Amino acid sequence: MFAQLPLFAELPLFPEAASTNAARVDALFLFLVIVSGFFALLIAALVIVFAVKYRRRPGSGPTPRIEGSLPLELIWTIIPAVLAAIMFIWGTKVYFRLADVPRDGLEVYVVGKQWMWKVQHATGQREINELHVPLGRPIKLTLTSEDVIHDFFVPAFRTKVDVLPNRYVHAWFQATKPGRYHLFCSQYCGTNHSGMTGWVVVQEPAEYEAWLNSHAEGSLALEGRKLFLKFRCVSCHSADSQARAPVLEGLFGQAVPLNDGRTVLADETYLRESIVKPDAKIVAGYQPIMPTFQGQLSEEELIELIAFIKGLGPGQTPKRVDTAPPPIANPPPAATPAAKPVTPSAAPPGGKP
């Protein structure tokens, strides 16, 4: 009856499963629902049966002392414990699969902002509230927020991750069906939260390549190099004998020793913190001389600069360039300006010069 109504006809029981992780998430969810529903109904039925069967009747004596039943206690302890262990192990496997981002994934950077999603591809393409991806290839998402907490949620992919300000989080998916799939913010983020929606467009590989070519722009690393030179980062991070700051070549993914004895991993979050809060973690052997760039770089520019640093290999640091002109040896004497002829002025009234 309800299926004949227009509203229910347009609302499927489950969203479409269009990623490699969707079936795993659905199977775990259904198991939890079935087990929880079974025991909820069983307990409700037993409560009703026992309330009726063992109710107090007129003229009945006191309730006899019950010593307990060891077999019964073992049954209602062991069975729930086994089911809970199955749920935990199964859920852990699904979680680790979702958290284990493939190394060969296609990198996409996402910035959440009230109230839109700003997308940057590694090759430079930029989108607002839309994300184009190829079919059958893992997509690695690096996400951050420009203001408050958002949540990147694509129901068809069973992908959902909190997007936090001042740090990077990661998620991934691999689409199995071409099409357009809804993108939502599922964390209340302000007045227009309900309008913070978009689309993930899954295309065949050839169609995706055509889309990339039609939206060709400078790559993130190239734009980051421009920022590296614009803000004179090479003055200290010059990777030569005059360097006053750590060498950035091959830094990403390496362990970094700090002045306080700790060691941190040089990932995206560390690089971002080093740019906006350079005094937070001082590299061993260096002084805290770097100024903060908090407020001088947008989140998109931070992503571009980090993309440049991530790709720096040996010998790829831009050369130090002195903007001041070199001094001239033995400069010639300055020429004496020629005397200008004096033109007599007109005599003032009264005939006096």
The CATH number linked to 240 is 1.10.760.10
Residues of the domain holding 117: 106-214
Q: Which pLDDT does position 2 carry in this prediction? A: 40
Q: Are residues 248 and 282 in the same domain?
A: yes
Work out how many domains the chain is built from and give that number.
3
Same domain, 88 and 115: no
Q: Which of 185, 214, 243 is the endpoint of a domain?
A: 214
Q: Residue 188: what pLDDT?
A: 93
Residues 269 and 189 placed together within one structural domain of the fold: no
The domain boundary residue, chosen from 180, 197, 214: 214
Buried b (16+ CB within 10 A) or exposed e, 190-207: eeebeebebbbbbbeeee
> 232 and 204 share a domain?
no
pLDDT of amino acid 10: 61
Distance (Å, whole) CA 329 – CA 232: 28
Query: Is 60 within the bounds of a domain?
Result: no
Residues 8-67 pLDDT 10s: 456 667 788 899 999 999 999 999 999 999 999 999 999 999 999 888 788 777 777 777
Contact 168, 135 (CB under 8 A): no
DSSP state of 175: B
Residue 320 lies in a domain: no
* pLDDT confidence tier of residue 351, bands split at 50, 70 and 90: very low
Strands of the 106-113 sheet, one edge to the other: 126-128, 116-121, 106-113, 139-145, 169-173
Looking at the structure, do residues 116 and 79 belong to the same domain, yes or no? no
149 pairs with which residues across the strands? Answer: none
- Whole-angstrom Cα distance, residue 79 to residue 58? 38
Same domain, 116 and 202: yes
Q: Is the peptide bond before 115 cis (omega within 30 degrees of 0)?
A: yes
Give me 147's structure tokens: 């203001």
For residue 322, the 8-state DSSP code is -
Given a cut of 50, whether residue 86 has pLDDT beyond it is yes
Are 112 and 82 in a shared domain?
no
Share of the chain above pLDDT 70, in %: 87
Whether the pLDDT of residue 323 is over 50: the answer is no
CATH of the domain at 181: 2.60.40.420
Residues 6+ apart with CB under 8 A from 8: 2
